[in-house]
Amino acid sequence: MQDFFEGANSQNVPNQVIAEFNKGIQLWIKREDLLHPEVSGNKFRKLKYNLLEAKRRNFQSLLTFGGAHSNHIAATAAAGKLFNFKTIGIIRGEELESAVEKWSPTLKYARSCGMNLLFVSREEYRKKDSEEYIEKLKRKFGNFYLVPEGGTNDLAIQGCEEIINISDKQFDFICTSVGTGGTLAGIINSSSALQKVIGFSALKSDYLKDEISKMTNRENWELILDYHFEGYARVNKELIEFINDFSKKYKIILDPVYTGKLVFGIFDLIKKGHFPENSKILVIHTGGLQGIEGMNRLLKKKGLPQIVH
Ligand SMILES: *Cc1c(COP(=O)(O)O)cnc(C)c1O
């Protein structure tokens, strides 16, 4: 397992230049989506030290939480299969229990990896951080290594510190998408003081900034809240068209929940003159492409254009 994680690390996820804009502004992208076909992007980084810890402590099972389209659920299921952990996914949405035909591609994939799926009501799901509830789950499933929703904890942040390496010192700005903020915190921790790290929130949230402040002591960062498109996993035609234009032009596929909104936001800020002359900007492609198929089904129902992938 150590070899797997170190090996993929040293494969040297490439930085590619995307485009040159006016005023000498350069935009580069770090292809973390290419880390591994199934344990992709930042979920690979977040699982690394957690899985090493689970193995070290001889856990047989991993348990975690997520929604029906969760990249974290998909990555945990895949990693469990690769490294012989039993995996248990507590999934928001009790109505899915008896309706396999409504399962998202993510849930079908997780099940195909052997993940044991437990569907719970929104009310029960909210107890995910309560010790009492975790004890109850242990009585049901036996002992397990607990990975929190979205995969963020101290070991996850440690893993995300490895996204940035020495050769990235040349960049003035590093931009990444934010869900829980664990990935952003890791990047901030390994950035240099002269770099500015910019998080683009994928959700509407008033407390996210405070949450991130708890995960890092550094101050060379900001959180942008203008590009969540009205909330988590919400999309509109403009965003889908942007994602499709981008992949046509640059041959890089973005996901609609995180990286699509991120890159949309960066392009908009460049246009609005947010970045100084000759800025070198690095955007992190954190993966998430497994969710496109599920999103396309929703788009089809709404009569919106599909994401080409
Ligand atoms: C989970 C995820 C994020 C958010 O990461 P956090 O560490 O929770 O902020 C960003 N991008 C993609 C593609 C993800 O799957």
Task: Judge if 289 and 251 occupy the same domain.
Answer: yes
Domain boundary among 99, 118, 151: 151
Query: If DSSP codes are grouped into helix, strand and coil, which group holds residue 263?
Result: helix
| Dist. CA 168–CA 181, nearest whole Å | 20
- Residue 220's nearest CA partner among 191, 200, 244, 247 is 191
| Residue 262 near residue 285 (C-beta atoms within 8 A) | no
Residue 176 Cα to ligand 1 midpoint, Å, equals 9
67-106 pLDDT, tens per residue?
999 999 999 999 999 999 999 999 999 999 999 999 999 9
Domain boundary among 98, 129, 151: 151
Residue 23 Cα to ligand 1 midpoint, Å, equals 31
Task: Judge if 109 and 168 occupy the same domain.
Answer: no
Residue 70 Cα to ligand 1 midpoint, Å, equals 10
Domain that holds residue 272: 2-36+161-301
**Ligand 1 mutation target, pool 44, 258, 284, most atoms within 8 A of CB:** 258
Q: What separation in angstroms does the CA of 266 have from each of 101, 199, 229, 237? A: 38, 10, 14, 18
pLDDT at 52 over 80: yes
251 in any annotated domain: yes
- Residue 254's nearest CA partner among 286, 302, 293, 294 is 286
Residues enclosing ligand 1, CB less than 6 A? 41-43, 71-72, 150, 152, 177-184, 255, 258-259, 286-288
Q: What is the CATH number of the domain that holds 30?
A: 3.40.50.1100
Q: Whole-prediction pTM value?
A: 0.97
For residue 112, indicate whether it is catalytic: no
Domain boundary among 104, 122, 151: 151
Within 8 A by CB and 6+ apart from 66, the residues are 72, 73, 89, 90, 91, 92, 149, 150
272-303 pLDDT, tens per residue?
999 999 999 999 999 999 999 999 999 999 99
Interhelix angle 71-82/41-56, rounded to 10 degrees, is 50
